[in-house]
Amino acid sequence: MMHCNILKFIIFLIQIAKNGQSKHNRLNSKREGKDRAVNCAILKKNNNHNKNLYQAMLDWDRNIIALVVTVVCVILTITWVFVKKDDNVLVQEGWTKQMCDVKRMQEIVRMFGKKFEGSKPEFMVRSPGRVNIIGEHIDYCGYSVFPMAINKDIMFAVSLQRVTGETAKKQNGGVFRLSNKDKAFEDITLNWQELCKMDRAKLLTEKHWSKYVIAACVGVIDIVSKRAQDDSMTEFFATTDLNVLVHGVLAKGAGLSSSAALICGSVVLLLYVLDQLKNLTRTDIAKLCMECERYVGVNTGGMDQSIVMTGRRNFAKYVSFVPHLDTADVLLPQSKNEPYVFVICNSLAEHQLTDDLGTRNYNMRVIECRLAAVVLAKALKLKDWSTVQTLRDVQDRLFQAGHKNCNHNHDISNEEMCSQLSGLLFKCMNLLDSEPYTLEQIEQELFDNDNDNDNANDKEEKQDDAKLDAKLSQLFLAGLKRADDVVAKIRQHKFKLLLQQRALHVYSEALRVVQFRKLCEQHLESHNDNVVAHMSDLMNKSHLSCKEQYDCSAEQLELLRNVCLEGGASACRLTGAGWGGCVIGIVKCNKLQDFKEHVQKHFYANFPSVPLDAMFETSPADGVCIFKTEDFAKHIS
């Protein structure tokens, strides 16, 4: 629609140019006619150069029109590449095979009828997975990331059924029936009234797969109860059964964000049936989904929910979190002489965001980064250092201090951002200890040398480990789910905290993201055939930082990465937090078949059972969308 309007605008400008020229000619025809005739007579007698000028004078109106068209076409091209997709369109007009292939659609409808007494779905929601091309573990530190939605997804088939009388009385109102195509995941029936009253804290210990859908339910209930101007939600819950079949082709624990896809799809379908999508943008819904995932104890930075909601076909996304959540479409560069594809390979080691102790890995890294930010801020003697929450806060406050007339450090050029990040890398190396910190060392550094004059009672209190940990959480870890539990187990098991290494990864990875985006934008102008080599170099450096500075790789994942590089991938890095899961590689199209055969022979052949989609090519896909039964019924009959 937008591009049709732009084309109409081009035609309008051309017409203006023609009309303007015609009017100008009519008003000055007598004087200009004589002048032009004289000039033309003179020019005809001159050399070839003057003949060209003569022709130019006769056709000057045509050249002006051509110039107008050229300028507007340039504007159209820039708009096509960089303008944002309409942020509000969730219900798609029509259905395409890119959303879901016909065979799978037929299977979904058949399974839905089998699960729900022969009924048919009224609409479906498609929620894609994602891969992060570059920018690992920096979203929760305030830095931009570079993901894309992929063509693997979770589909939700949905129908509504009105209940009254004895049925409603027996069920105590409406219910939510949730089923999964995978038999390993048990079906569950949830009562709406019980969901409304549910203790949110219970989700932290819930083990059933439905906890992500339940988290979506309580999140939607909370926001709708605040927005609703009437009792429509209460009436819906009292009189409506909701039947949902989940049909996913995203491997669980593969690091492709199946949890975010499950939450985002659930949130959208619930908002849709409650008629609450109006006035909500995709970004608004992404923020709601972030809060929902925190109900299950994951201190998400927001990358997964943002790309799942706002993904766009053929475009990666530059997702920013400061000063607010924002996304920008970026066209990935392609080499003319050596085109490439992205290939996702599953290490078959399910990625673990927590270990057996329930503390290390993901949430542990979040806390390490938060503490690194506070310790670094104090070492830099920043004003109000104790209120710093992220490593991005440190950057903003440090460099804002040098710009008295500037209220923020957000609207800066790529060059300035790179300069600031490079400076912070040196400061981390000089001010943070390369040796592991103990919890006691951190507490001593943050509490013993502050500007407060602690009295004797305070000093006695500091000797109590439990009270110290509580003070640490209250002052510096506010807002982080399960922070108290993690801190307690850090002390119990005497875990060492590598603050310098975590900060070095965050700042260097943020720098690589800026460089990667700059590379994409420059290539659109220069068409540099070395672009694949430059992209690959940044992605490979990203992986090494994840492995060495952030310690989030895994033995089986490293083995797979080495096989991929040996098989012809120019780049290969972990994606999706790490600790198992998948790698993403860049493979030139002319080497793709050889690459697949090599990985199959030297990696997957060693396993007795391998999923069919353990290795697949992908390209940027659309974010969450809704399509109605009538849009695809004719394709599956």
Which tokens hold the place of 191?
Answer: 């009562």
**Angle made by CA atoms 113, 114, 118, in degrees to the nearest 5:** 40
Q: Give φ, ψ of 437 to 5 degrees.
A: -90, 145
- Ordered DSSP codes for 355-371: -TTSSSSHHHHHHHHHH
Among candidate residues 275, 331, 361, 346, the one with its CA nearest the CA of residue 521:
331
Contact 524, 555 (CB under 8 A): no
How far CA 440 is from CA of 35, 82, 492, 496, 497, in Å, comes to 92, 50, 12, 10, 11
Task: Answer yes or no: 222 catalytic.
Answer: no
Which tokens hold the place of 193?
Answer: 């009234």
What does the alpha-carbon distance between residue 421 and residue 503 come to, in Å, rounded to a whole number?
A: 11
Spacing of C-alpha 494 from chain mean position = 35
Q: Give φ, ψ of 152 to 5 degrees.
A: -95, 140
Contact 434, 500 (CB under 8 A): yes
- Ordered DSSP codes for 411-442: S--HHHHHHHHHHHHHHHHHHS-SSPBPHHHH
The structure tokens 């040796």 sit at: 435
Which residue of the set 139, 153, 241, 304 is catalytic?
Answer: 304
The structure tokens 């938060």 sit at: 370
Among candidate residues 619, 150, 185, 552, the one with its CA nearest the CA of residue 349:
552
Contact 109, 636 (CB under 8 A): yes
First-to-last alpha carbon distance for the chain, in angstroms, is 31
What does the alpha-carbon distance between residue 293 and residue 302 come to, in Å, rounded to a whole number?
A: 9
Contact 138, 513 (CB under 8 A): yes
What does the alpha-carbon distance between residue 637 and residue 490 come to, in Å, rounded to a whole number?
A: 58
Which tokens hold the place of 5?
Answer: 């309007």
Within 13 A of 162's CA, how many CA atoms are on the CB side? 2
What does the alpha-carbon distance between residue 83 and residue 79 come to, in Å, rounded to a whole number?
A: 5
- Which strand (E) or helix (H) includes residue 271? helix 258-273
- Ordered DSSP codes for 5-53: HHHHHHHHHHHHHHHHHHHHHHHTHHHHHHHHHHHHHHHHTS-HHHHHH
What does the alpha-carbon distance between residue 513 and residue 511 come to, in Å, rounded to a whole number?
A: 5
β 340-346/146-162 pair status: unpaired
Please give the positions annotated as active site.
Answer: 304
